[in-house]
């Protein structure tokens, strides 16, 4: 979702900046629910308050629900076919490439100095050792606030 969110909201419509996308994405990861829906609702609220939030939520969930229902009705008839299995393998590779692209883009706008790089390394290590995603997100937020306050004084 992140590459699509970034392309549509920043490049195509100009509703938010790259930094906003990263902030909304980080907040969305901290909230329960789907990251794409949470991010859309944050942008919807920014653009249109509660009506914008509601429109974003419906716009993100209704098409997906309808498509999933249609696929679920017929997928069992096709799962045994080799071409379907190969298609799913290709989709996995494409999704991995999208994730790498998003990571590079977020790196460019998120890691701006040595302190940010150290926060990145700490989060990467925490994930590598099986930490819950909540721990690095909360710790990163706390470190960012601490560094901002330290720079002010």
Cα–Cα distance measured from residue 67 to residue 79, given in angstroms and rounded to the nearest whole number? 17
Q: Which residue has 């653009």 as its token pair?
A: 47
pTM (predicted TM-score)? 0.49
Kindly write down the DSSP assignment for every residue of 57-96, as one continuous string: HHHHHHHHHHHHHHHHHHGGGTTTSHHHHHHHHHHHHHHH
Tally of domains in the chain: 2
Q: Are residues 92 and 115 in the same domain?
A: no
pLDDT of residue 93: 93
What digits encode the pLDDT tens for the residues 30-87?
Answer: 778 788 888 888 889 988 899 999 999 999 889 989 998 988 888 878 888 889 889 9
Q: Are residues 54 and 101 in the same domain?
A: yes
Cα–Cα distance measured from residue 21 to residue 42, given in angstroms and rounded to the nearest whole number? 10
pLDDT of residue 40: 86
Q: Are residues 94 and 40 in the same domain?
A: yes
């Amino acid at each position: 979702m992140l590459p699509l969110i970034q392309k549509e909201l920043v490049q195509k419509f100009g509703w938010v900046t790259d930094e906003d996308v990263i902030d909304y994405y980080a907040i969305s990861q901290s909230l329960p629910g789907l990251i794409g829906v949470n991010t859309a609702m944050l942008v919807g609220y920014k653009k249109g308050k509660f009506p914008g939030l509601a429109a974003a939520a419906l716009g993100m969930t209704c098409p997906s629900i309808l498509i999933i229902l249609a696929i679920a009705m017929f997928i069992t008839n096709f799962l045994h076919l080799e071409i379907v299995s190969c298609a799913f393998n290709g989709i996995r590779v494409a999704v991995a490439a999208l994730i790498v692209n998003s990571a590079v883009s977020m790196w460019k706008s998120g890691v701006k100095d040595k302190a940010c790089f150290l926060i990145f390394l700490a989060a990467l290590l925490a994930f590598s050792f099986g930490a819950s995603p909540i721990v690095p997100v909360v710790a990163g937020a706390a470190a960012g606030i601490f560094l901002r306050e330290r720079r002010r004084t």
